[in-house]
Amino acid sequence: MESGISSPEPPQSDPLEAFPQRRLEPGDIAVLVLYFLFVLAVGLWSTVRTKRDTVKGYFLAGGDMVWWPVGASLFASNVGSGHFVGLAGSGAAVGISVAAYEFSGLFSVLMLAWVFLPIYIAGQVSTMPEYLRKRFGGNRIPITLAVLYLFIYIFTKISVDMYAGAIFIQQSLNLDLYLAITGLLAITAVYTIAGGLAAVIYTDAVQTLIMLVGALTLMGYSFAAVGGMEGLKEKYFLALASNRTENSSCGLPREDAFHIFRDPVNSDLPWPGILLGMSIPSLWYWCTDQVIVQRSLAAKNLSHAKGGSLMAAYLKVLPLFMMVFPGMISRVLFPDQVACADPEICKKVCSNPSGCSDIAYPKLVLELLPTGLRGLMMAVMVAALMSSLTSIFNSASSIFTMDLWNHIRPQASEKELMIVGRVFVLLLVLVSILWIPVVQASQGGQLFIYIQSISSYLQPPVAVVFIMGCFWKRTNEKGAFSGLIVGLAIGLIRLVLDFIYVQPLCDQTDERPAVVKDVHYLYLSIILSVVTLLTVSIVSWFTEPPSKELVSRLTWFTRHDPVARKEPPLPSTLPRNGTLEGSGTSIQLETVQENMPRTHSCDVTPKQSKVVKAILWLCGMAGKDKEEPTSKGEPALASLEEKPFVKTLLDINLIICISCAVFLWGYFA
């Protein structure tokens, strides 16, 4: 560019005029509508099929699920539209370093099946709070976790998912961001009512298949457009926005863009943080988060659960190639928009002055794919988002209603619990919408990095408490609670500081305090883990040891203990596969919903209006007045035994999978 004409140029080179954005065509919209009708039909069919007992509709085949739908469902639960937007956006902004999260998850999902699941099966638990209640006794830890889970759902799941879906809608239909979010929530409400909550696990498997086909097709188009991997390596470093200010470092690609292991002091993801700080939140997510664990517990037996984890682990290799590399290619193909460095221009392009890297994936979908396939990919993205939103809304309202509201008002009626649950969802949506501007501005416009930083502040203390409970018999309730509170207090302080001292834009001076500016969130994850570990160990050691009942069959070393006690008459008289997905206290919820109508069945006239019947059916309460046989309390996974041949085959596969992962780490490190 000639220096004499460079100064008047930027105002005229509006990327929106230079690169008019493609919109969805009638053919795409037709495919979109057909896809939604298909998903709604599957949801409605599964609702009708589970009409007799819709509360456990999602896990209809809970004790019968074979390995491949379990694996597909684990992958689909993890990879939503936020993943596509966030991973591709970070790839466009900083290169392949974010793939470390995927490779780390690969090891964690294998640990779930080989290490943690045998403990949960031996302890005959179906939810994570139930495990903590059995292992430590008391209610302090489950209630603290219930509050924490609501925080995590709002900060890293609901608002992020809504924002990611809104970016897709905004880019494809040219709508205002908040108008797109409102539309998204309206569609989600319809989707939920029409059977989203009762959709069986196979819907996830179908969705995964379509998602993989669509994403791999887009990957092919992307690499063809850039000239393969060699073309990407050559052109990525030249992908600069034409409106970038001369002699500024803003908008420049990182020199280490094609390396995962980076400088331990000055990089975006320091390598010690990747090895140590990343693994603890990853363990929390894959081994102790209710939504993920419940899917593994729905397997036919331990071997099928292991097979599902292996499938999910192999699939976790793909995001680097399906999302991160295409995000980098999007920067090469559309540098003025995806790599924009001027806050004013960025605001025009994507309504976010921090940067537009998060539009990288939607840009590829809209610009590269042919009509029809483009509509299908948009449908998959938005449907994946809505599926996860309904699940999270359901989980969050159940946790609030049953863990917190029921604790405050133990005598609350069924009607009150239903109303509170639904009002709380509305409150949750409102708070999440108000939080979206923070999501938008955080971490330089990189959605995935925002998610991981919040996770690093809140999840390590919980993960350490689970790890200590599972692997050290001496851990008691006082130690676990003390460690949890100390760790969370430090994490929350850093979280608040992050929002007070926002990361400055590239061309601004960084005047944040050293504790925020110089202590990377992955290093803070290590600090939180160590502090929690020390607190739990010291307090547990100097207080009374837990009773034998709190340890037997509830740790790794005692999982083979003989069953010395009959389970007390807890709400777990229902089958484990009858839990509501993601609900911390789903068993209690089912008990309330099933038992209360039965209690009053003598006093209430069975005749009901059609409107009431319709509402009860949609809420999963239909037919609860009928006499039903008491459920047999058989857990979905009752035994740790496996066939020797199958066990050997799975162990060999485990070694192959880990070897592949180590090779990938080494190759890209």
Give me the torsion for CA of 152, 153, 154, 155, rounded to 10°: 40
Q: Which residues contact 48 (CB under 8 A, 6 or more apart)?
A: none
User: Angle, to 10 degrees, between the axis of helix 644-668 and the axis of helix 99-111?
Assistant: 160
Compare 640 and 114 and report the one with higher pLDDT. 114
Question: Has residue 253 been placed in a domain?
Answer: no
Among 10-19, 161-170, 233-242, the range with the most confident prediction by mean pLDDT is: 233-242
Of 74-78, 242-246, 571-575, least confident by mean pLDDT is: 571-575
Specify the pLDDT at position 612: 63
First to last CA, the chain: 36
Minimal CA–CA distance to 523: which of 342, 303, 307, 264?
264
Instruction: Tell me the whole-structure pTM to 2 decimals.
Output: 0.79
pLDDT exceeds cutoff 70 at 260: yes
Q: Which residues contact 502 (CB under 8 A, 6 or more apart)?
A: 441, 442
Residue 65: phi and psi, rounded to 5, are -75, 125
Question: Has residue 420 been placed in a domain?
Answer: yes
Question: Has residue 629 been placed in a domain?
Answer: no
Question: Has residue 426 been placed in a domain?
Answer: yes
Question: Has residue 433 been placed in a domain?
Answer: yes
User: Rounded to an integer, what distance in angstroms lies between the CA atom of residue 545 and that of residue 664?
Assistant: 44
**Is residue 220 very low, low, confident or very high in pLDDT (cuts 50, 70, 90)?**
very high
**Is residue 473 very low, low, confident or very high in pLDDT (cuts 50, 70, 90)?**
very high
Write down the H helix ranges in 399-413: 406-408
pLDDT exceeds cutoff 80 at 468: yes
User: Rounded to an integer, what distance in angstroms lies between the CA atom of residue 276 and that of residue 283?
Assistant: 11
User: Angle, to 10 degrees, between the axis of helix 460-471 and the axis of helix 477-500?
Assistant: 160
What is the tally of structural domains in the chain? 1
* CATH code, domain with 225: 1.20.1730.10
- In which domain, by residue range, is 50 found? 26-243+275-570+634-668
Question: Has residue 229 been placed in a domain?
Answer: yes
pLDDT one-digit tens code per residue, 37-63: 776 676 566 556 544 343 343 333 445
630-644 average pLDDT score: 59
Q: Which residues of 96-117 are buried (b: 16+ CB within 10 A; e: fewer)?
A: bbbbbbbbbbbbbbbbbbbbbb
pLDDT one-digit tens code per residue, 271-308: 988 988 889 999 999 999 877 887 888 788 889 999 99
User: Rounded to an integer, what distance in angstroms lies between the CA atom of residue 372 and that of residue 199?
Assistant: 26
Compare 516 and 313 and report the one with higher pLDDT. 313
How is 595-614 classified by DSSP, letter by letter? HHHHHTTTTS-S---HHHHH
Element (H, E) at 302: helix 302-315
Question: Has residue 580 been placed in a domain?
Answer: no
**Is residue 610 very low, low, confident or very high in pLDDT (cuts 50, 70, 90)?**
low
299 by DSSP, 3-state: which?
Answer: strand
Question: Has residue 105 been placed in a domain?
Answer: yes
User: Other CB atoms closer than 10 Å to residue 423's CB: what's the count?
Assistant: 13
pLDDT one-digit tens code per residue, 126-137: 778 778 888 998
What beta strand segments (E) does 301-414 contain? none
